[in-house]
Homo-oligomer: A and B are copies of this chain.
Amino acid sequence: MPYVNIKITNEGATAEQKAELISGVTNLLQKILGKNPQTTVVVIEEVPTDNWGIGGESITTRRRAGK
C-alpha cells in the first residue's frame, strides 16, 4: 500500500522510461519491505525547468550556464 511520488523536470522522459520507473520502484518496495505491489501507487510529475530550482537558481538558468 505504499504511495510514491517522483518529481522530475520535463525534459523528454518517454512512456517506456516512465513504465520502467513504475515497475522498478514497485519491485523495490516489495523486495525490501514486503509491500503488496497490487496496492502500490506511483505518481510521476514532470515539472518545467523554469519551475525547478537548486542552488538558488532555476534549472533553465543552470542549463544555459552549462551546469
Interface string of A41-60 (1 = CB under 8 A from B): 11111110011111111111
B4 touches A59 (CB 8 A): no
Tell me how many chains of this kind the complex includes: 6
Contacts of A43 in B (CB 8 A): 3, 7, 47, 51-53
Contacts of A3 in B (CB 8 A): 3, 6-7, 41, 43
A21 touches B15 (CB 8 A): no
Assign chain A's interface to a size class: 35 or more
Given contacts A4-B6, A19-B50, A24-B28, 20 further A-B contacts (CB under 8 A): A1-B8, A2-B7, A2-B8, A3-B41, A8-B29, A18-B50, A19-B57, A26-B55, A26-B56, A28-B28, A37-B55, A38-B55, A39-B55, A41-B52, A41-B53, A41-B54, A42-B54, A43-B52, A45-B51, A46-B51
